[in-house]
Amino acid sequence: MKNNRFFIIGLGLLVIGIVLGALGAHALKDRLASHQLESFKTGVFYQLIHGVLFIAFGLYERLDGTISMFRTGLYISFAGVLLFSFSIYVLSTSAITGLSAQILGPVTPIGGILMIMGWSLLAVKTIFSKSI
């Protein structure tokens, strides 16, 4: 059986993103300030985009059997989307959850940088690969 890790990561990101998107659209829209809701939506957007991308790489892995040259970039991107999106969720809802989110301020841009680094690494590896 072929490895399904990136396919499963993508599906997980999509399911959680859809649930959080519905939460933002219905339960949070009257409880958050407009800038907080926009931030929340940004987190959901990036999470959903990455879910689709991970599913694509998971399908590619199923067809090709290996994506070893992409693994490092995918893991870096996955860490980035977790840090980016989930820090935004906590930061934007801290007024209603009561969670102290001050420490998360720098986490969001670190997550963004990791996403950029991960996808850039995939691009470089693809450009210089002889097998693709």
Residue 25 in domain: yes
Residue 11 in domain: yes
Residue 19's domain comprises: 5-124
Question: What is the tens place of the pLDDT at every residue in 86-123?
Answer: 999 998 988 888 877 778 788 999 999 999 999 999 89
Instruction: Domain count for the chain, please give it.
Output: 1
Residue of 64 and 2 predicted with greater confidence = 64
Residue 131 in domain: no
Give the Cα separation of 91 and 99 in Å (integer).
8
Residue 129 in domain: no
Residue 130 in domain: no
Q: Where are the alpha helices (DSSP H) in the chain?
A: 5-22, 34-64, 71-97, 107-127
Residue 81 in domain: yes
Give the Cα separation of 46 and 52 in Å (integer).
10
Residue of 55 and 125 predicted with greater confidence = 55
Residue 70 in domain: yes
Residue 31 in domain: yes
Q: What's the pLDDT score for residue 132?
A: 53
